[in-house]
Structure 1
Amino acid sequence: MSEGPSALKRAGREAAIQIMSGGSAGFVEICLMHPLDVAKTRFQVQSNAADPERYKSIADCFRRMIRSEGFFSIYKGILPPILAETPKRAVKFFTFEQYKKLFRYDVKDTPVSLSMAGLFAGLTEAVFVNPFEVVKVRLQTDKNKVSEQPTTFQVARSIYREGGLGLRGLNFGLTSTMIRNGAFNMVYFGFYFSVRDRLPKMDSDAATLALRILTGFTAGTLASCFNIPFDVAKSRIQSEGHLPNSKYKGCLQSVGVVYREEGFRALYKGLVPKVLRLGPGGAVMLVVYEHMRELLEEKWPPYE
C-alpha cells in the first residue's frame, strides 16, 4: 500500500524538477535570442519587393530598428513568450512522452513513432501558446517607437475586444500555429531522439554534451527549413489577417498567395535569423536545463 503513494510522490517530484528546469532554460534562451525572433518576424511580413523600406540584412534590420524605434525595439513582444515559456516546455515534453507511449511499436521507439509523437505534441503545444503568439506578432510588427507603443496587456486587451478568446480574437491563426508547431516538432523530435541513441560513446561528459548540442543544432536547422513556409504564413495571418479585406485567410491558402505573388524564395523569409536563434538557442537551453536539473536533483532528490 505504501508503494503507490511513494511512487506517486516520486513522479510528482520528478515532474516538478523537469518543469522548473525547463522553465529556467526557456527564460534564459528567450532573453538571449529574442531579438533574432523579432528580426525573423519583420522579414516574414515584408511583401513588396520594391519597397525602399525593406530590410536588407539582419544587421540592417537591427540598425534601423534601433535608430528609428529605440534600442529596446529589438525586444518587442518579449513578455508573451516569457509568460508562456515555462508551461509551454511542460506541455511540450510531457505530452511528447505520453504520445510516445501511444505510438510506440511493440516496446520500441522508432523514427516514425517519435515523429508522430512530436507532431501531436506540437499540435497540443500550439493550442496553449497561440494567444501569446498573436500578441507577440502584433507587437513585433508595430513600427512605432517603443515609448509610443502600447503595452503587452493593452495589445492583448485590444485583440480580446476585437474577437474575444475565439478564432477572430486571441486564438486568431490557431490552425497556422498548429501546422507550424506540429511540423517543427515532428522533424525535431523524430530526428533528435532517433540519432541521439545511436551516438558513439564519448570519453568525457563534455564531449558527450558537445555531440548532443551538435545533434540538437542539426535537428533544429532541419526542422526550421521544413516548417518555415508555415511560419511565414502564420506571421502574415496574425499580423495582417485581422484587417479588412486581408488576402491572408488560412495557412495553406496563405502559403499559396505568398508563392504566387512573391515566388518560392519568399516562403523562406526569416530563415537565417530563425536558424541563428534555434541553433545557439537550443544549445543554451540544453546547457541551462541540464545544469538546473542536476542542481535541483542534488537539493531535492526525486528518488529518495
Structure 2
Amino acid sequence: MHPLDVVKTRFQIQRCATDPNSYRSLGESFQMIFQREGLFGFYKGILPPILAETPKRAVKFFTFEQYKKLLGYVSLSPALTFAIAGLGSGLTEAIIVNPFEVVKVGLQANRNKFAEQPSTMGYARQIIKKEGWGLQGLNKGLTATLGRHGVFNMVYFGFYYNVKNMIPVNKDTTLEFLRKFGIGLLSGTIASVINIPFDVAKSRIQGPQPVPGEIKYRTCFKTMAAVYQEEGILALYKGLLPKIMRLGPGGAVMLLVYEYTYSWLQENW
C-alpha cells in the first residue's frame, strides 16, 4: 500500500499543472516515479510508518474503547457515542504519529534517486538541528494532523458501528464476513473523502515550501484557504483516488482484524 501513499503525497504537494514534473494522472505518476527514481522510489519514507504502525493502531483501538466507556456515563445516543469516541481516538493517535509523518512526507517529496536521499534518521536529525522539536520542526502540521485523524476516526468508527448495527447479522459466516467487509470498505472510503482537505493541508505544511527559505504554508486553516483561493476547491481533494484505494480496503481489513481478534480474546481469555 505504501506506493499509493507516496503518489498521494506527490499529488498533494504539486501546485502547478503546467510544471513538467507534475503528474496528470495516477498512471502517469507511477510511470514517472519508476522511470526517474526506480522501483525503490515507491518506498521512500516507508520506515517512519513501519515504526509508528504498531503503537498507532494500539492507541487507535485502545483509546476508542476507553472513550466509549467514559461516554457511557453520559446520556448520549449510541450513534453519537461511537462518533465522539472515534474523534477522541483520532486526536490521541495524531499526537503520537505527527513526528513520524513530518519525516515521512519530507522523504516522500524528495525526487532524487532513492540512494541519493538522506536516511530516515539522518533526515530526522536535519529537521531537529535546523527547526527543533516544536511546531515549526518535528511537530509542524500538528493541527492538520489532528484534523485529519480526528475527522477520519469520527466518521470511520461512527459510520461502521452504526450501520453495522442497523443491518441484520447473517448466520452464514462467509456472508457475515462480506457484510462487515463491505461496511468497513464504505467507512474507510467515506472517511477519506471527508478528511482529505486536512490531509492536503498537512502535506503542504510538512512538505517542501514553494520558495526555499520562505514558509508559505504554516497553519492548517490558512493553508486550506490559500489552496482554495489559488488553485480552486478541487485542489483540496488532490490525491483522493490513491488515498481511497489504500484506506478503503485497508480500513475494512483493519476493522475486521480488530473485531475478530477482540472476539477471540473475549472467548478465550
Instruction: State the TM-score, normalized to the length of structure 2.
Output: 0.93
Query: Counterpart in 2 of 1:91?
Result: 59
Indicate yes or no: 2:32 matched with 1:64: yes
Q: Comparing 105-114 with 178-187, which one deviates more in the overlay?
A: 105-114
Per the TM alignment, residue 45 of structure 1 is displaced from its structure 2 partner at its CA by: 0.4
Candidates 240, 244, 261, aligned match of 2:230? 261
Candidates 111, 128, 132, aligned match of 2:100? 132
Question: Which amino acid is 1:128 matched to?
Answer: I
Alpha-carbon separation, structure 2, partners of 1:289 and 1:104? 21
Identity of aligned residues (%): 55
Indicate yes or no: 2:44 matched with 1:76: yes
Alpha-carbon separation, structure 1, partners of 2:248 and 2:196? 15
Alpha-carbon separation, structure 1, partners of 2:235 and 2:74? 43
Query: Counterpart in 2 of 1:112?
Result: 80
Indicate yes or no: 2:170 matched with 1:202: yes
Per the TM alignment, residue 104 of structure 1 is displaced from its structure 2 partner at its CA by: 3.4
Asked whether the 8 Å contact 2:188–2:248 carries over to 1, the reply is yes
Q: Using a 3 Å threshold, how does the CA distance of structure 1 residues 122 and 292 change in structure 2: closer, same or farther?
A: closer
Alpha-carbon separation, structure 1, partners of 2:86 and 2:255? 18
Q: Using a 3 Å threshold, how does the CA distance of structure 1 residues 267 and 248 change in structure 2: closer, same or farther?
A: same
Alignment RMSD, CA only?
2.1
Question: Which amino acid is 1:277 matched to?
Answer: R
Alpha-carbon separation, structure 2, partners of 1:105 and 1:195? 23
Q: Using a 3 Å threshold, how does the CA distance of structure 1 residues 103 and 289 change in structure 2: closer, same or farther?
A: closer
Instruction: State the TM-score, normalized to the length of structure 1.
Output: 0.82
Equivalences, count: 268
Per the TM alignment, residue 134 of structure 1 is displaced from its structure 2 partner at its CA by: 0.3
Alpha-carbon separation, structure 1, partners of 2:169 and 2:153? 26
Asked whether the 8 Å contact 1:100–1:109 carries over to 2, the reply is no
Question: Which amino acid is 2:152 matched to?
Answer: F
Asked whether the 8 Å contact 2:47–2:120 carries over to 1, the reply is yes
Alpha-carbon separation, structure 2, partners of 1:289 and 1:122? 16
Per the TM alignment, residue 231 of structure 1 is displaced from its structure 2 partner at its CA by: 0.5
1:190-217 Cα distance to aligned partner (Å, 9 max, x none):
1111111222121311111111111011
Give structure 2 stretches of 5+ with no counterpart. Answer: none
Q: Using a 3 Å threshold, how does the CA distance of structure 1 residues 302 and 157 change in structure 2: closer, same or farther?
A: farther
Q: Using a 3 Å threshold, how does the CA distance of structure 1 residues 200 and 293 change in structure 2: closer, same or farther?
A: closer
1:58-103 Cα distance to aligned partner (Å, 9 max, x none):
1211111011011011111111001001010111111111111222
Per the TM alignment, residue 169 of structure 1 is displaced from its structure 2 partner at its CA by: 1.6
Query: Counterpart in 1 of 2:111?
Result: 143
Asked whether the 8 Å contact 2:183–2:252 carries over to 1, the reply is no
Q: Using a 3 Å threshold, how does the CA distance of structure 1 residues 221 and 98 change in structure 2: closer, same or farther?
A: same
Alpha-carbon separation, structure 2, partners of 1:74 and 1:293? 34
1:41-60 Cα distance to aligned partner (Å, 9 max, x none):
00000101221221121121
Candidates 270, 277, 281, aligned match of 2:250? 281
Candidates 108, 124, 133, aligned match of 1:165? 133
Per the TM alignment, residue 175 of structure 1 is displaced from its structure 2 partner at its CA by: 1.0
Q: Using a 3 Å threshold, how does the CA distance of structure 1 residues 162 and 144 change in structure 2: closer, same or farther?
A: same
1:120-162 Cα distance to aligned partner (Å, 9 max, x none):
1111110000000000000100000001111111111111112
**SS of alignment partner, residue 118 of structure 2:** coil
Query: Counterpart in 1 of 2:147?
Result: 179
Q: Comparing 237-246 with 96-105, which one deviates more in the overlay?
A: 237-246
